[in-house]
Amino acid sequence: MSTKRNNPETIAIHGGNYRSDPTTNAVAVPIYRTTSYEFTSTDHAANLFALKEFGNIYTRIMNPTNDALEKRVAALEGGLACLTVSSGQTASTFAILNVAQAGDNIISSTDLYGGTVSLFTHTLSKLGIEIRYADPSDPKNFEKLVDDKTRAFYGETLPNPYLRVFPIKEVSDIGRKYNIPLIMDNTASPVICKPIEHGAAIVIHSLTKYIGGHGTAVAGSIVDSGNFDWTADPNRQPLFNEPDASYGGAIWGKVVPELTGANIPFAVRARVCLLRDLGSALAPDNAFAIIQGLETVALRMKQHCENAQKVVNFLKTHDEVTKVIYSTEHEKTIADRASKYLKGGNGPMVGIELKGGIEAGKKFIESLKMFYHVANIGDARSLAIHPASTTHSQLNEKELAASGVTQSYVRLCIGIEHIDDIIDDLNQALNKSSKPNLKAVV
């Protein structure tokens, strides 16, 4: 169903073309637990393999449950096509491997999820893809690193721990001068930010987080905006302009618009080459779980953000808190990006630094009763973690400082429980954070 008004609440439930199951009229999207699909004739099979006709071949590459999710995520982000994959990590891996090969480079924001940093710095570099890091506080830093081998820019809309909103339009505009697409990871800000409206060419998600919303399935997605001209500069994007020997010499930038009538070569190439070869398919059972979450994402994001703002206001007045990190709590130029790019809320995540340093951070986490102490983000439940003693414990002082994690930094993902219960739990834990551990003293 198409919604003229583009309201995310409606798109999350009706977006895409799934209305009911074509054979049973089932309203909920069924889990199509099948590996294969019967061909009606040998011609039919041959046409599907030759991409002359689009249809189901094998669940590693496509599945009707995943298809319903893909169309809905594409609609939510305002894109033309989407590919779902087994995790958010696969989504970022595929987004890079779809444009870059050995000898090429990607220019990425320094403000990134830790798993993306290790993927970029360790794994992709071993494959010969260089990742150059640019500090997004000045968008011009991206331009300074461009050379003939630069294939994409990469950023995260609302990266933690800094929680500085990425300058999407500024960096996208620089990229478009050089025919370089901007890939945005929008995991922490679905609904409240639509990077495609600001010029992003590709939007990825860890669906595991806010879109899934309940901590029940790991999944990822890659949305193709359809707004990027992959053939404008053939030297800039060789993977879309040179014949692909793995697919009968297809030139993806040309063949996909001819066959589909849509400018979606990125999504099609990722599916028929990367998913075919690397096989990181999303299980339809997980797609089903993510669809259940997706239906309420707009409501949840609203509540997450409303609660987070109230938590920020409370924390700013608390004696044990020395610093509150939030999208709007930065110097003006950075805080202004929150009002420019985030609509309907300033984000669900809050960082704090505590008076008592690392010990207070640990004590605070251990004293929380309702908040869960987990490494995840984006659950309906409130979550907390102390990165210096967990996710970032292998880093030295200098690396910690560069990553924005101080010894006392605590990351809070504010859930959708009643705000009074959230604040009560934070308050009681903060009041204990600087008190000596009596058991240890005795």
404 touches ligand PLP (CB under 6 A): no
111 touches ligand PLP (CB under 6 A): no
CA pair distance 189, 433, nearest whole angstrom: 30
Among 8, 15, 88, 387, binds ligand PLP (CB under 6 A): 88
CB 96 to ligand PLP: min, Å: 13
Among 65, 84, 87, 108, binds ligand PLP (CB under 6 A): 87
Residue 138 makes CB contacts below 8 A (sequence gap 6+) with none
- Do residues 329 and 387 make contact, with C-beta atoms less than 8 angstroms apart? no
Site map (CB under 6 A) of ligand PLP, residues 215-254, x = contact: ---x-x----------------------------------
115 touches ligand PLP (CB under 6 A): yes
- Do residues 74 and 83 make contact, with C-beta atoms less than 8 angstroms apart? no
What SS3 string covers the chain? Answer: CCCCCCCHHHHHHHCCCCCCCCCCCCCCCCCCCCCECCCCCHHHHHHHHCCCCCCCCECCCCCHHHHHHHHHHHHHHCCCEEEEECCHHHHHHHHHHCCCCCCCEEEEECCCCHHHHHHHHHHHHHCCCEEEEECCCCCHHHHHCCCCCEEEEEEECCCCCCCCCCCHHHHHHHHHHCCCCEEEECCCCCCCCCHHHHCCCEEEEECCCCCCCCCCCCCEEEEECCCCCCCCCCCCCHHHCCCEHHHCCECHHHHHHHHHCCCCHHHHHHHHHHHHHHCCCCCHHHHHHHHHHHCCHHHHHHHHHHHHHHHHHHHCCCCCEEEEECCCCCCHHHHHHHHHHCCCCCCCEEEEEECCHHHHHHHHHHHCCCCEECCCCCCCCCEEECHHHCCCCCCCHHHHHHHCCCCCCEEEECCCCCHHHHHHHHHHHHHHHCCCCHHHHC
- Do residues 110 and 134 make contact, with C-beta atoms less than 8 angstroms apart? yes
CB 82 to ligand PLP: min, Å: 15
Which position's Cβ is nearest ligand PLP?
88
Site map (CB under 6 A) of ligand PLP, residues 334-373, x = contact: ----------------------------------------
Phi, psi of 410 (to 5 degrees): -125, 130
**Residue number, 265 or 348, with CB nearest to ligand PLP:** 348
- Do residues 77 and 196 make contact, with C-beta atoms less than 8 angstroms apart? yes
CB 112 to ligand PLP: min, Å: 8
CB 109 to ligand PLP: min, Å: 11
84 touches ligand PLP (CB under 6 A): no
Of 88-96, 330-338, 356-364, 390-398, the window that binds ligand PLP (rule: CB under 6 A) is: 88-96
**Residue number, 282 or 354, with CB nearest to ligand PLP:** 282
**Residue number, 325 or 377, with CB nearest to ligand PLP:** 377
Of 84-92, 288-296, 349-357, 392-400, the window that binds ligand PLP (rule: CB under 6 A) is: 84-92
301 touches ligand PLP (CB under 6 A): no
Site map (CB under 6 A) of ligand PLP, residues 156-195, x = contact: x----------------------------x-xx-------
CB 378 to ligand PLP: min, Å: 8
- Positive or negative, the Cα torsion across 60, 63, 65, 67? positive
CB 327 to ligand PLP: min, Å: 14
Residue 402 makes CB contacts below 8 A (sequence gap 6+) with 110
CB 282 to ligand PLP: min, Å: 11
206 touches ligand PLP (CB under 6 A): yes
CB 270 to ligand PLP: min, Å: 16
Query: Residues touching ligand PLP: how many (CB under 6 A)?
Result: 16
Among 172, 208, 241, 346, binds ligand PLP (CB under 6 A): 208
**Residue number, 219 or 298, with CB nearest to ligand PLP:** 219
CB 92 to ligand PLP: min, Å: 6
Of 18-26, 112-120, 142-150, 286-294, the window that binds ligand PLP (rule: CB under 6 A) is: 112-120
**Residue number, 113 or 133, with CB nearest to ligand PLP:** 113
- Report the interface residues with ligand PLP, using CB under 6 A: 87-89, 92, 113, 115-116, 156, 185, 187-188, 206, 208, 218, 220, 377
